[in-house]
C-alpha cells in the first residue's frame, strides 16, 4: 500500500502554475528522490504535501487517509515529518528542547518516552555535544542535522528532506548520507529533494523529475539520468 | 516622615502593578499581541469576585478561586474565537479589536453595575498589619507582593520546565514551523491567554480588596501595566516585577513629598527609564 499518493494535484499563485496535475505514489518503505531545476516547484510540492499551502485541485492520501484538507499539525501527528531547505530551528530553544517540542506534540509520546527517544536521536544525528546549546548558535551542518533530528523526533512514517545536503562539504555530506541510509533501513519512507545527485542516488530507489510544476519523468535513477528530456531540462546537456 | 516605610510601601505596591502587568507581558511575549482591554479584563474579574462575595457570601479568596477557572475559560474562548483572527503581520487589527473590546466591556459593566465605586469586603484582613522592626506592613499589601512573586515563579516554571512552556516558546519563535511539528498555535495562544486571565483574576482580587474600583478604571490599570512591562523589558517577567516596584516606589515617594505628585512621579520614573534604557532593564534576549 502506498504511504503517500498524490492525484492530479494543482496549484497556482496568480498566473504562475507551480503544480500542474501532479500524480505519483510512494510505497511504504520506499525512498523517492525529486530533482528539477530551480523554480520547478519542488519545495512548493513539499508545502502542498505538509499542508502549509492548500491545493487548488486534486487530492492527497497519506497512510490510507485523505489528508487533502487536513491542517499541517494533523498531518504531522499522522506521521509526516519534514526538514526545510533553509534550516528553521526554534533558535531560542536548546537543541534538546527543539526535539522535545517535536516529540511531545508531533507524536503520541509521553514526556518520559519523548525524552528517551530524543536522547537516542541526538546520538544518531551526532548532536549529543550540542544538546544544551541554543539552536541559534549552531553551524550550518549542525542546523541541518537538527532539522533531520527534529523531523525524526515526530516519529515519522514518511520523511520529507528538502536539500539537506546542500552547502555541505563532501565529508559532511557523506556522514549525513550514512545517517539517512540508516533511517531508511529502519523502514522509514523518504522523499528527498536534492541537487547533490551522487548523495541522492546512493539512497533513493526511484527518481522523479519536476519542471514548471509538471512531472517530466519518474523511474529508476539510471533510467531517469539516461533520459533525453531529463538531460536537456535538468542537466542542460544538448542531446 | 519615615522614608524606609515609604519605600517599603512602594515596593509592596509594585507587587500589585506586577500582577497587573504579568498577564500582559505573558501574552505579548508569546504572540506579540498588545491587549488594550487588559485593564478592563482586570475590572471584569474584580466585579466577578464582588458578585461571588456579595451574592453567595463567599470569602474573597474563595471567590477568587471560583473565578479562576471561569476567567481561564473566558480568556481561552476570547483568544481562540476572536483574537486569533486578528493575529498576522499587521499589528493594527489586534490593537483595534482589543480597543473596541475595552469600550464594550466598560459599557457593559456600566449597564450592569452602574458607575458607582465598589470595593470587595475582605473583613479584618483589610486593616491587619505586621510589625517589622521600625515599620509596620499591612497584611494585604504583603500578600499582594508575595502573590506577585509566586505568580512569576510559577509562570517561569511553566515556561522553562514544561512541555506547554516549550510549545509557548517554540510558537513564539516560529509559528509556521511549530505547526509542522504538531503544535497547534491557535490552541497554544488560547491557553496562554487563559493563563493570563488567571493572573488577571489574582490581580483583580487584590485590586478589589485594597482599593475602590468602578467600570471605567481599566485603562488607568493598563497604563501602569504597560509601564511596568516596558521598564522591565518586553517579555521578561522578573523585569516586570522590578518595573512594578520602580513605579510603586516612585509613586509612594512622590506622594510623601506632595500628595498631588503620586501618579506624576510614577510616570516620570517610567520616562526616565525609557530615556536611559529604551529597551527596558532586562530586554528579552537576556531573559
What is the rounded CA–CA span in Å between residue B148 and residue B12? 10
Is residue B66 very low, low, confident or very high in pLDDT (cuts 50, 70, 90)? very high
Q: Which three cell numbers stand for residue A204?
A: 533513493
pLDDT in tens, A140-153: 889 999 999 999 99
If you average pLDDT over residues A182-203, what whole number do you get? 92
- The answer to whether residues B141 and B210 touch, using CB atoms and an 8 Å cutoff, is yes
User: Chain-wide mean pLDDT for chain B?
Assistant: 93
Does B179 contact A77 at a Cβ distance shorter than 8 Å?
A: no
What is the rounded CA–CA span in Å between residue B237 and residue B228? 10
Does B179 contact A71 at a Cβ distance shorter than 8 Å?
A: yes
- The answer to whether residues A135 and A146 touch, using CB atoms and an 8 Å cutoff, is yes
Per-residue model confidence (pLDDT) at position B125: 84
What is the rounded CA–CA span in Å between residue A41 and residue A211? 7
Structural domains in chain A, CATH included, are 1-79+157-239 (3.40.50.300), 86-155 (no CATH)
Number of Cα atoms under 13 Å in the Cβ half of residue A27: 5
Nearest to B182 among A52, A98, A105 (CB): A105
- The answer to whether residues A161 and A180 touch, using CB atoms and an 8 Å cutoff, is yes
Q: Does the pLDDT of residue B219 top 70, yes or no?
A: yes
Residue A36 to chain B, least CA–CA distance (Å): 24
- The answer to whether residues B102 and B221 touch, using CB atoms and an 8 Å cutoff, is no
Nearest to B169 among A88, A92, A154 (CB): A92
Residue A225 to chain B, least CA–CA distance (Å): 33
Is residue A127 very low, low, confident or very high in pLDDT (cuts 50, 70, 90)? very high
Residue B167 at interface with chain A, using a CB cutoff of 8 Å: yes
pLDDT in tens, B156-213: 999 999 999 999 999 999 988 898 888 999 999 999 999 999 999 999 999 999 989 9
Q: Which three cell numbers stand for residue A221?
A: 535513477
Classify the complex by whether its ipTM is higher than 0.85, answering yes or no.
no
Q: Does the pLDDT of residue A239 top 60, yes or no?
A: no
- DSSP assignment letter at B260: G
Per-residue model confidence (pLDDT) at position B287: 42
If you average pLDDT over residues A22-31, what whole number do you get? 94
Q: Which three cell numbers stand for residue B283?
A: 530586554
Is residue B1 very low, low, confident or very high in pLDDT (cuts 50, 70, 90)? low
Amino acid at each position: 500500500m502506498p504511504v503517500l499518493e498524490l492525484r492530479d494535484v494543482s496549484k497556482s499563485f496568480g498566473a504562475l502554475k507551480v503544480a500542474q496535475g501532479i500524480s505519483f505514489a510512494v510505497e511504504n518503505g520506499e525512498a523517492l528522490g525529486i530533482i528539477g531545476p530551480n523554480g520547478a516547484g519542488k519545495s512548493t510540492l513539499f508545502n502542498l504535501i505538509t499542508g502549509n499551502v492548500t491545493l487548488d485541485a486534486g487530492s492527497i492520501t497519506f497512510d490510507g487517509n485523505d489528508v487533502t484538507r487536513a491542517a499541517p499539525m494533523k498531518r504531522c501527528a499522522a506521521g509526516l515529518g519534514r526538514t526545510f531547505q533553509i534550516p528553521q530551528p526554534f533558535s531560542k530553544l536548546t537543541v534538546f528542547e527543539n526535539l522535545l517540542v517535536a516529540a511531545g506534540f508531533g507524536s503520541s509520546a509521553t514526556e518520559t518516552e519523548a525524552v528517551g527517544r530524543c536522547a537516542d536521536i541526538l546520538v544518531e544525528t551526532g548532536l549529543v555535544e550540542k544538546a544544551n546549546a541554543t539552536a541559534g548558535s549552531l553551524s550550518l551542518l549542525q542546523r541541518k542535522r537538527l532539522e533531520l533530528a527534529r523531523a525524526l523526533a515526530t516519529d515519522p512514517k514518511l520523511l520529507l528532506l528538502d536539500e539537506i545536503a546542500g552547502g555541505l562539504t563532501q565529508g559532511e555530506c557523506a556522514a549525513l548520507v550514512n545517517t539517512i541510509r540508516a533511517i531508511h533501513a529502519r523502514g522509514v519512507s523518504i522523499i528527498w529533494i536534492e541537487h547533490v545527485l551522487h548523495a541522492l542516488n546512493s539512497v533513493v530507489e526511484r527518481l522523479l523529475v519536476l519542471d514548471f510544476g509538471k512531472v517530466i519523468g519518474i523511474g529508476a535513477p539510471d533510467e531517469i539520468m539516461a533520459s533525453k528530456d531529463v538531460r536537456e531540462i535538468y542537466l542542460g546537456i544538448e542531446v | 516622615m519615615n522614608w524606609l516605610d515609604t519605600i517599603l510601601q512602594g515596593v509592596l505596591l509594585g507587587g500589585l502593578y506586577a500582577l497587573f502587568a504579568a498577564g500582559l507581558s505573558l501574552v505579548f511575549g508569546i504572540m506579540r499581541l498588545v491587549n488594550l482591554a487588559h485593564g478592563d479584563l482586570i475590572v471584569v474579574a474584580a466585579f466577578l469576585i464582588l458578585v461571588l462575595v456579595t451574592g453567595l457570601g463567599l470569602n474573597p479568596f474563595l471567590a477568587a478561586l471560583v473565578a479562576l477557572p471561569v476567567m481561564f475559560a473566558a480568556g481561552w474562548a476570547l483568544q481562540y474565537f476572536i483574537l486569533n483572527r486578528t493575529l498576522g503581520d499587521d499589528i493594527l487589527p489586534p490593537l483595534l479589536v482589543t480597543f473596541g473590546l475595552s469600550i464594550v466591556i466598560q459599557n457593559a459593566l456600566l449597564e450592569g453595575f452602574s458607575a458607582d465605586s465598589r470595593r470587595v469586603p475582605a473583613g479584618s484582613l483589610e486593616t491587619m498589619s505586621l510589625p517589622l522592626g521600625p515599620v509596620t506592613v499591612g497584611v494585604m499589601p504583603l500578600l499582594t507582593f508575595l502573590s506577585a512573586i509566586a505568580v512569576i515563579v510559577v509562570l517561569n516554571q511553566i515556561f522553562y520546565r514544561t512541555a506547554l512552556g516549550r510549545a509557548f516558546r517554540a510558537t513564539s519563535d516560529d509559528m509556521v514551523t511549530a505547526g509542522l511539528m504538531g503544535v497547534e498555535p491557535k490552541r497554544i495562544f488560547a491557553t496562554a491567554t487563559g493563563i493570563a486571565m488567571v493572573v488577571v483574576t489574582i490581580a483583580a482580587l487584590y485590586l478589589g480588596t485594597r482599593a475602590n474600583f468602578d467600570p471605567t478604571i481599566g485603562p488607568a490599570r493598563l497604563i501602569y501595566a504597560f509601564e511596568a512591562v516596558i521598564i522591565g523589558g518586553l517579555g521578561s517577567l522578573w523585569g516586570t516585577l522590578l518595573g512594578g516596584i520602580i513605579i510603586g516606589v516612585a509613586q509612594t515617594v512622590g506622594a510623601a513629598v506632595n500628595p498631588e505628585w503620586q501618579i506624576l512621579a510614577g510616570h516620570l520614573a517610567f520616562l526616565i527609564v525609557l530615556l536611559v534604557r529604551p529597551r527596558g532593564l532586562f530586554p528579552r534576549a537576556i531573559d
